[in-house]
Chains A and B, each alone.
Chain A
C-alpha cells in the first residue's frame, strides 16, 4: 500500500522538511542551548514524522512537529541532568579552532548587536517570540504547545516585543 503513495509521500515529506527545518532548528536550539543537540532532536522529530501515517498528521503537521520537537527536547534536558554530555569538550575544541581573527572579530561585533535583541529576554517570552515570529504559529497553536493560555501568549508577545522595540530604538 505504501508503494502507491510513496512518491507523493516522499515529495510531501521533503517539502515539510524543507519548510520546517530552519524554524525547528531555531526553536530546538533555543530550548536546548546548542545546535548539536538541537540537530539530534530535530532529526528525531522528522524521522518520527516519516513513520506516521500521512493522513494522520498531514493536516496538523506544524503542530505535530513542534509538539514532538518540544517533547524530545525536554526529554533530552531531563536526561542531561543525570548524564553529562561531551558537549563541553566539543565547545572547547571549537573555540580553539576558530582562530581566524577576522571571523572572530565579526562574530563578536555581530553578537553584540543582533543577539541582544532577544537573547536576554525571559525564556518564556523568547520561546513565544520564536514560535510566533520565526515559525508563524498562531496564538492558539502556541497555547496548545506550551500550555500557556491564549491570552497569556498574546501578553508575553506584547511584552517581549516591547522590550525588543526599546532595544531597537536604543541601537538607532
Chain B
C-alpha cells in the first residue's frame, strides 16, 4: 500500500505537481531511498520516451489550414473579406483552365534549351518582379521569357537557380509591380517570411497565352515548368510540396492544398510563419500535364542537379469562389499521373545528390536521401522512421529516448543538465581561500528566459547557473586604462546583502578591454549541426540567420569555412574570404537539416579546416552551432572534450552556440566550450543571435586573456564565513590557482565578469548552517598575521595568461569594506544582486534568505539604470512571470 502511494507521488513529483511541502518531504525520502530514486528515474525515462514518440508522430497542420491561419494572424479578421480579383474568371471553366495549364506546361517544355532573351527578361522582371535581394550573383541564371499579348498581368515566373548544388525555384506572379517575397524553404519546418502579392488573373481564359517569364538555367540546359493556371496554382504548389517529399506524402499535400483554393486568402499577407512543406517544386506541375514524357524529361533534367534550397513564392490570393470541385478534379488528374515513377526519380535524385549539404565523397545512403525528401514534405514522422531505420535497434531506441522535441519544463526529460549543488557557506578559519575559474557564458539566462516566456514553466533548478544569469548583462565597470599592462581591470565593492540584512555582499567586477576597430584577422570555421533534430523553426533557420549576421560583420581580413555534420560530416564551403559575402550567404542558404548527428566527426573536420587556414596572431575559432544532440560516432562527452582541449592548446578556440530545447545537451556543450577555451551561449531568438553575434562579436571572437582564475583570501578578523554565489562548476582547488597547467575560463574583448560573495561578518554570529569540523589533534589553529588587523576584508588575486601565452600573470587587489549600505550602491551592483537573488529563487536554493520574486523585482527595478538595450526590462518581465508561475 505504501509502495502504491509512493509510486503515485513519484509521478506527481516528476511532473512538479506536488505542493511545496509535499515536494520537500518527498525529496527527503528520495534521498534516502534508492528504490524511490529508481522509480523517479524510470518515470522520467518513460516520459521522455513518450514525448519523443508523440513528437515524432506529430505533424503540423495542412498547407491550406496553415495559410488560413497565417491570414487570420495577419489580421485577416479585421480586413475586408478576401479580395476577389476585379477581373473575374469564368467560374468553373475547367476545360479552359486545363487548356491553360497545358499551354503553360507546353510552353515550359518548349523552353527547355531555349536560351534567354535577356533584354526582354529584364523588362519583364522590372515590370513584375524585383529580384530577391540576396540572390546570389555568382549563380546568375539565364532566363527565358515568354509573355502574352494581352495586358492581363497574368504572369508566372518560374525561376530556377542552379548552383553546383542547388535548385532554386521561385515561381512568382507579379501583379501590381510588387515584389513577391521569397519563401525560404530551408528545411521543411523553416521559418518563412513570405510576402505575398495579390495576383491578377487573366480575364479571358479562352485566349490566354501563358504569360510566363520563365527563368531557365540554360547553362545546364534545364528549364523549369511554367506555372500558371489561375486557381490551379495552389494545387500545383501543393503537389510541388509533396513532390520534393518523394514519399507517400505528396498526394496528401496536394489534397491539403486543393481545398485551399476555396479559401479566400486576402492578398498582402505578410507573415512570419512556420510553413512546413511550402516548397513549390519544379516537379510539381509535371504530373499535372499528364505528360509522361515530360515527367521523364523533367526527371532527367534534374537528375544531375542537386536540389538545394528551394525558394519560391506562394501567391496567396486565391479565388473565394467555389472552385474546390474543379481543383479537386485537377487533383484527380495528379492522382492519375505516374506518381510512383516520379517518386522513384525523386528519390534517386536525392540519392544522387549525396546530401544537400554536399557531403563530399559521401554518397548518401538511400535512407538518408529519403530522409531529406521526407523533410521537405515536412513529414516528421517519416523522418524519424527513416532516421531510425539506419541504426541498430538499440541505438534507435536511444534516439527515441533522446530525441524529444520542445522541452516542456521542469523535470521533464529531454534537456540534459548537470546537477548543481549550491556552494555551501565556508568558515574562513577552516578554508580561507576561495578559488574559481571565471566564466563568461550566458547560456543559462537564455534558457531560463525560454522556459519562462515561451514554455510558461519555471526552469529546472539545474538549468539555472547563477553566474551565467548575472554575466548575461553588461555592466558599466571601469575598463583598464589604455596603458594598463593587464588586459582587464578588476574591482571589488561591498555592501549589505539585500536578502540577509546581517550579511555583506561582495562583488568582484572584471572588465575586459574593448577592441573597437582593429579586430585581429579571424579564421572562422562554422561547424553547423544539420541533423534531423535541428529541423525545427527555432534551430536550423535561426542558426542560418545567426551565421548570416555574423558573416555580415566580417571583412577582407577574415576567413570563413563552413562544415556541417549530420550522419556524416562534410565541408560546405572551403575557407573563403570574409568579403565574399555572397558566396558565404549563398552557402548558408542552401543548408537543410536531415539525418542523425555525428558531432565527433564534424568537430574533427572543423578543427582540421581551422588548422589548414591558421592565422598566426589572429583569431582562430570554430563556432559550433548545435542542439548538442550527438547521437552517432564519437558521442562520449569525454572524447569530444578531449578533441576540444587538444585543439585549444594549439590556439584554436571554440565557441558553442546552443539552439533549441528538448534534447539540448547543455552539460556536454558547457564542458566542451570550457575545455575548448571558448564561450557558450544559448540562442533562443533572433534578438539573442544579434546580441551574441553582432553586439558582442568582439567578445565572442576575440579572447583577450585566457585561463583566468580568481582566488580570494578572506581575512578571518573581518569575515567569519563566506559563500560564492554560483560558479558551482567552476570551483578550483586552492593549489590549482598557481598551476598554469590547469585550464580556466577566458575573457573576450569588452566582456564583463561578475562574481558575488555573501559574507558573514566576523563581529556577528554565524547564523548559517556549517557542519562543524572537529578540532585538530596535532595542529593548532593558525595564528593571525599582522595584516589581519589592517581592516582589509579580503585579498583578491587573479591569474591570467595572454591568449596564446603559457605563463600566467598575477594581479592582487586588497579590499576594505567601506561599510556601505545596499541602497547606496550603484545601479549595476543592485541589478547584479537582484539577478543573483532571482537565480537562487529559481534554484530553490537553501541560501536564498528573505528573497522573494517581489523583492527581486523591486531591487532590479531600482537597478535598471539606463537599460539601453532593454535587457534589464526584459529581466523584470521574467521576474514577474516567475512570480506568477510560482504562485508567490
Interface positions of A from 133 to 155, Cβ below 8 Å from B:
133-136, 138-139, 154-155
Q: Mark B245-282, 1 if CB is under 8 A from A, else 0.
A: 00110111001100000000000000111100000000
Residues from chain B with Cβ under 8 Å of A62 in the complex: 456
A75 on the B face (CB < 8 A):
no
CB of B46 within 8 A of CB of A168, answer yes
Contacts of B73 in A (CB 8 A): 10, 13-14, 17, 46, 50
* A107→B65 contact, CB < 8 A: no
Contact with A along B54-82 (1 / 0, CB 8 A): 11111111101110110011111110000
CB-nearest residue of chain B to A36:
B62
Q: Are B370 and A102 in contact (CB under 8 A)?
A: yes
B462 within 8 A of A: no
A70 within 8 A of partner (CB): no
A22 to B454, CA, bound (A): 14
Residue A164 interfacial (CB < 8 Å): yes
Chain B residues closer than 8 Å to A99, beta-carbon distance = 248, 340
Interface of chain B, main secondary structure: helix
**Beta-carbon contacts under 8 Å, A95-137 to B:** 97-100, 102-103, 105-107, 109-110, 113-115, 117-118, 129-130, 132-136
B124 at interface, CB cutoff 8 A: no
Q: Quick one: which of B72, B385, B412 contacts A136, CB cutoff 8 A?
A: B412
CB distance from A106 to the nearest CB of B (A): 4
Q: Are B347 and A100 in contact (CB under 8 A)?
A: yes
Residue of A nearest to B47 (CB): A133
Nearest-neighbor residue (CB-CB) of A164 within chain B: B46
Q: Is residue A18 within 8 Å, beta carbon to beta carbon, of the partner chain?
A: yes
In the complex formed, the residue of B with least CB distance to A153 is B17
Given known A-B contacts A43-B61, A114-B400, A161-B11, A97 and B340 have beta carbons under 8 A apart = yes
A residues near B64, Cβ cutoff 8 Å: 39, 43
A68 at the interface (CB under 8 A from B): no
Minimum CB–CB distance from B191 to chain A (whole Å) comes to 9
A157 touches B11 (CB 8 A): yes
A107 touches B385 (CB 8 A): yes
- Cβ of A54 to closest chain B Cβ, rounded Å: 12
CB <8 Å contact, A47 and B47: no
Give 1 or 0 for each of B306-349: 1 = CB within 8 Å of chain A CB. Answer: 00000000000000000000000000000100011001100100
Partner of A168, one of B17, B45, B60, B256: B45
- From DSSP, what is the main secondary structure of chain A's interface residues? helix
Least Cβ–Cβ distance between A146 and chain B, in angstroms: 15
- Cβ-closest chain B residue relative to A157: B11
Mind listing 8 A-B residue pairs with CB under 8 Å?
A26-B58, A43-B65, A46-B73, A94-B252, A98-B248, A136-B457, A154-B8, A165-B43
Q: Which residue of A lies closest to B272 (CB)?
A: A14
Q: Please determine whether A139 and B69 come into contact, CB atoms closer than 8 angstroms.
A: no
- Chain A nearest Cβ from B66, distance in angstroms: 8
- Contact yes or no, B347 A118, CB < 8 A: no
* Count, A-B residue pairs, CB within 8 A: 198
Q: A108 CB to closest chain B CB, in angstroms?
A: 9
Cβ of A90: which chain B residues have Cβ within 8 Å of it? Answer: 255
Which residues of A pack against B, CB within 8 Å? Answer: 2, 6, 9-11, 13-15, 17-19, 21-23, 25-26, 29, 35-36, 38-40, 42-43, 46-47, 50-51, 62, 90, 93-94, 97-100, 102-103, 105-107, 109-110, 113-115, 117-118, 129-130, 132-136, 138-139, 154-155, 157-158, 161-162, 164-165, 168, 171-172
Q: Residue-by-residue, is B503-532 near A (CB-CB < 8 Å gives 1, otherwise 0)?
A: 000000000000000000000000000000
Residues of A within 8 A of B406 (CB): 19, 22
Interchain CB contact under 8 A, A109 and B339: no
Query: Shortest distance in angstroms between B629's beta carbon and chain A's nearest beta carbon?
Result: 18
| Residues on A with beta carbons closer than 8 Å to the beta carbon of B51 | 133-134
Q: Is B110's CB within 8 Å of the partner chain A?
A: no
A87 to chain B, nearest CB (A): 11
For chain B, residues 14 to 37, give those with C-beta under 8 angstroms from any C-beta of chain A.
15, 17
- Rounded to whole angstroms, the CA-CA distance of A14 and B270 in the bound complex is 11
Which chain A residues lie closer than 8 Å to B12 at the CB level? Answer: 139, 154, 158
B751 interfacial by beta-carbon distance below 8 Å: no
Which one of B69, B339, B382 has the highest number of Cβ atoms from chain A below 10 Å of its Cβ?
B69
Contact A17 B457 (CB under 8 A): no
Q: Min CB distance, A124 to chain B, in Å?
A: 15
User: Does B15 contact A110, Cβ atoms closer than 8 Å?
Assistant: no
Give Cα A152–Cα B42 distance, bound, in whole angstroms.
Answer: 21
Q: How far is the CA of A50 from the CA of B76 in the complex (A)?
A: 9
Q: Which residues of chain A come closer than 8 Å to B382, judged between CB atoms?
A: 103, 106-107
Task: Say yes or no: A168 contacts B49, CB within 8 Å.
Answer: yes
Quick one: closest B residue to A51, CB to CB?
B77
B494 — which chain A residues lie within 8 A by C-beta? none
Contact mask for chain B residues 343-365; partner A; CB cutoff 8 A; 1 contact, 0 none: 11001000000000000000000
Determine the distance from Cα of A39 to Cα of B388 in the docked complex, in whole angstroms: 26
B341–chain A nearest beta-carbon distance, Å: 11
Return chain A residues, CB-CB under 8 Å to B366. Answer: 102
Contact status A19-B347, CB under 8 Å: no
Given the known interface contacts A18-B274, A103-B382, the answer about A136 and B409 at a Cβ–Cβ threshold of 8 Å is yes
Give A155 to B5 CA distance when docked, in angstroms.
Answer: 10
| Shortest CB distance A84–B (Å) | 17
Let me know if A103 and B248 touch, CB within 8 A.
yes
Question: Which chain A residues lie closer than 8 Å to B255 at the CB level?
Answer: 36, 90
Q: Given that A14-B73, A46-B69, A47-B69 are contacting pairs, would A134 and B55 also be in contact in the complex, using a CB cutoff of 8 Å?
A: yes
Q: Point out the residue from A43, A134, A172 that lies within 8 Å of B58, measured CB to CB.
A: A134
The reply to whether A117 and B247 contact each other, CB–CB distance below 8 Å, is no
Measured CB to CB, the closest approach of chain A to B221, in angstroms, equals 29
Q: Bound complex: CA of A2 vs CA of B47, how far in Å? A: 42
- Is A22 a contact of B46 with CB atoms below 8 Å? no
- CB neighbours (8 Å) of A25 from chain B are 58-61
Q: Are A109 and B389 in contact (CB under 8 A)?
A: yes
Decide: A22 and B385 in contact? CB cutoff 8 A. Answer: no
A30 to chain B, nearest CB (A): 9
Q: Closest CB-CB distance, B662 to chain A, in whole Å?
A: 11
Complex formed: what's the CA distance from A134 to B406 in Å? 9
User: Is the beta-carbon distance between B57 and A103 smaller than 8 angstroms?
Assistant: no
